[in-house]
Structures are given as C-alpha cells and as structure tokens.
C-alpha cells in the first residue's frame, strides 16, 4: 500500500508572525431564519419593524417595493429566498434594483425610493443574508442606521457610551458601529452573538477585494470588546499576530457532530502537522474537516463511521464537482481532484498507520 506524503516546506525566518488572513472564511454560505416563508407572510412581517412609519400599513411604498422584489425573486429557481437571491445574481451588485422597475410609469426617484425602502425592510427581516460584496456596492448608510435600531438597540447604545468613555474619535465610532451593523445583516446573528471569527471574515472579505482590512474593522473589534461581547483580552492587531492556531481549534470551527470522527481528524492532523508549513496544514484541516466530513454530516445527519456506504461517498464526490458561494452562485470547482486526492491520502494513511501503531 502506498502512503501519500507531502514534502515539508521550510518557513522563511521572520521577526514576527505575519498577520493571519482567514481567507477560508470569506465565502461562508448562510441562510436566513425566514428563508422558506411564503411572500404573504413576509410582507405581513414588515409593519412590525421598529423603523416602520407610524399609522402606515398596507399602503406604504416600502411594502409595494418589497412586494415587487419578492415577485421578481419568485421568477428564479430555488428552495428558498436565499437560493433565489443567488440565482438572480442579486448578490453581485445593485443594478437590478432599477431594472426590475423599468416598466413602472412613476418618476425614477419615486420608484427607486420605494424599491430601496422595500429592500431595506426585507434585509432587516433577514429574508436574505446579503454578501459583503453586495453590502459594499449597496453602501446604504440608512440601512446600517436602521439595523442599529432593529437589532438590540440597547447594546448599540452601550457601545456608543463605551466609545465615549474610552475617548474613541466620533468618526471611528460611526465606522465601527456601521461595520457591526453590516455583520449583523450579513451573518443573521444578533450583536451579542457575534464572535471574533465574524470580524475575521469581514476583514478577509476586504483583503480579498481591496488588499486591506475595510474601514471600521479595528473599531468594531474594540467596540465589541468594550461592550463585553468579545471576551478577547487583546486588540485585533495582537489577535492577528498570534500565529498558527491549535489543531483542535481548526477542526472545531467546522462544528463536527460525531465526537469520535472529530477526534480521529484531530489526531490525524496532529500527526501530519510537523511535516507541513502552516498554510498547507490549515488548508488540509479545512479540506478534511469542513469540505469533506462536515459536508457528509450535513447531508447524512447521524453518520458515525468513516467506512462510508458507496452511495454516500459517490454523492459527496458529485457535490464536490461544484462549489457554491455568496455572490457567485453555483459554479464548477476548478480542481476537484486535488480534494479527492487529499481525502484518499487520509484514508490510506490511516490504513497504513493502523498496521504500524493500532493506537
């Protein structure tokens, strides 16, 4: 039996660890909590938003704009609103906002205002969870201000007060709060559910798009720390210089349900780690823990054995021929065979090691 190995790569000497990029977080897929509700129920939710105009119900231009958007999304395939949103390429930018009301006889300012108002309400109700690419193109300051009124406004108020107490500049406070509002809209989580990883994801998006962290990233970290949301005892800069993460942390970020399989992955990766540079090791951990086993568990809940039935293994291979990511929809994977080889090497290594050391 041939055991596949990876040639060790020597790391160049550095005075201090480079900043961690977290590129693997930039394309995480999410679905909102009302993804499968019918359009009629979603429209009935809108007037309950705290930012809804008083004494206005069914005649609101926002309601009309939201109805137009939902009717447009229904013309695209998908099991829920998020899939339709991606199928419509709505996550790529905002050109469609004007296109879907091109036949509306009203003046452009009126019909665009109604559409934008309806879209904001749909996003605040988490009908879809937009990508950071969309939110950057959208640049809707009103949406981010409204998000601070809708999602735990008392916590946003606490962060403003914490910013005043520590002497943070007003501009940095505004940028940090807007960044947190973006994360709340994008992730579908409330403010007190945000984690350091959400900050890393937001930063990774900015680096992938413009080569640097977006404005407000560091202020958002400090505001969340000041409000007690993040339990970190250091700033973002220091967190990014902590260097390679423990193997257990790299595996557990994928929330594997079967504990024995999780333990096998941790022990296997610990064996492989000394022979790999950190970038290659991080990639291997993500492939085996996330792309392979976490995907198996999502499609076959309760599975607890690496001895996969042929139909389960074949179904996984077919899924891996394509990749789905926010803003890009579903597209062919560039090199699925690289992934298959890594998983095959995992099985071959375990089989060989079991002969040499059954423990």
Q: Mind listing the pLDDT tens digit for each residue in 111-146?
A: 888 999 999 999 999 999 999 999 988 878 899 999
Share of the chain above pLDDT 90, in %: 57
Q: Is the pLDDT of residue 81 over 70?
A: yes
Note the pLDDT of residue 156: 96
- Taking alpha carbons only, the member of 62, 65, 44 closest to residue 53 is 62
Note the pLDDT of residue 60: 84
Q: How many Cβ atoms from other residues are within 10 Å of residue 155's Cβ?
A: 19
Binning pLDDT at 50, 70 and 90, where does residue 243 land?
A: low
Give per-residue pLDDT as tens, 32-54.
999 999 999 999 999 999 999 88
Going from N- to C-terminal start, the domains of the chain cover 31-128, 131-243, 247-356
Give per-residue pLDDT as tens, 277-309.
777 888 899 999 999 999 999 999 999 999 999
- Which residue in the block uniquely carries the two structure tokens 């939201």? 66
Count of residues making up the chain: 359
Note the pLDDT of residue 13: 37
- Distance (Å, rounded) from C-alpha 341 to C-alpha 6? 12
- Distance (Å, rounded) from C-alpha 40 to C-alpha 63? 11
Give yes or no for a contact between 93 and 134, defined as CB atoms under 8 angstroms apart. yes
- Distance (Å, rounded) from C-alpha 322 to C-alpha 332? 4
Note the pLDDT of residue 234: 77
Note the pLDDT of residue 5: 36
User: What phi and psi, each to the nearest 5 degrees, are found at residue 128?
Assistant: -130, 155
25-39, 153-167, 172-186: least confident range: 25-39
Note the pLDDT of residue 3: 36
- Distance (Å, rounded) from C-alpha 100 to C-alpha 66? 12
Note the pLDDT of residue 354: 83
- Distance (Å, rounded) from C-alpha 19 to C-alpha 239? 9
- Taking alpha carbons only, the member of 196, 210, 68, 84 closest to residue 136 is 210
With a CB cutoff of 8 Å and minimum separation 6, the contacts of 151 are 181, 184, 190, 191
Q: Is the pLDDT of residue 331 over 90?
A: no
Note the pLDDT of residue 357: 74
Binning pLDDT at 50, 70 and 90, where does residue 21 land?
A: low
Note the pLDDT of residue 7: 34
């Amino acid at each position: 039996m041939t055991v596949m190995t990876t040639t060790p790569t020597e790391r160049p000497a550095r005075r201090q660890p480079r900043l961690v990029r977290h590129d693997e977080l930039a394309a995480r897929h999410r679905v909102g909590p009302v993804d499968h509700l019918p359009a009629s129920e979603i429209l009935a939710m809108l007037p309950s938003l705290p930012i809804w105009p008083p004494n206005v119900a069914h005649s609101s231009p926002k309601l009309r704009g939201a109805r137009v958007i939902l009717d447009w999304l229904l013309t695209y395939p998908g099991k829920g609103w998020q899939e339709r949103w991606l199928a419509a390429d709505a996550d790529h930018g905002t050109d469609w906002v004007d296109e879907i009301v091109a036949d509306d006889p009203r003046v452009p300012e009126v019909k665009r205002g109604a559409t934008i108002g309806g879209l904001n309400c749909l996003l605040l109700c988490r009908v879809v969870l937009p990508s950071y690419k969309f939110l950057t193109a959208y640049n809707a300051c009103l949406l981010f201000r409204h998000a601070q009124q809708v999602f735990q406004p008392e916590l946003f108020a606490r962060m403003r007060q914490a910013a005043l107490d520590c002497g943070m500049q007003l501009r940095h406070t505004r940028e940090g709060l807007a960044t947190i509002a973006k994360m709340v809209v994008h992730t579908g989580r409330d403010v007190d559910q945000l984690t350091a990883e959400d900050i890393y994801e937001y930063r990774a998006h900015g680096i992938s798009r413009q080569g640097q962290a977006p404005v407000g990233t560091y202020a958002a970290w400090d505001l969340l720390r000041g409000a007690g949301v993040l339990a970190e005892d250091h700033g973002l800069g220091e967190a990014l210089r902590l260097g390679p993460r423990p193997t257990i942390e790299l595996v557990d970020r994928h929330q594997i349900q079967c504990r024995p399989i999780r333990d096998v992955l941790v022990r296997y990766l610990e064996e492989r780690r000394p022979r790999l540079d950190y970038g290659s090791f991080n990639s291997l951990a993500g492939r085996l823990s996330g792309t392979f086993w976490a995907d198996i568990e999502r499609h076959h809940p309760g599975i607890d054995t690496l001895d996969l039935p042929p139909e389960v293994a074949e179904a996984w291979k077919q899924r891996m021929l394509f990749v789905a990511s926010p803003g890009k929809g579903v597209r062919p994977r560039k090199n699925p065979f690289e992934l298959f080889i890594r998983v095959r090497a995992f099985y071959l290594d375990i089989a060989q090691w079991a002969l040499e050391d059954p423990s």
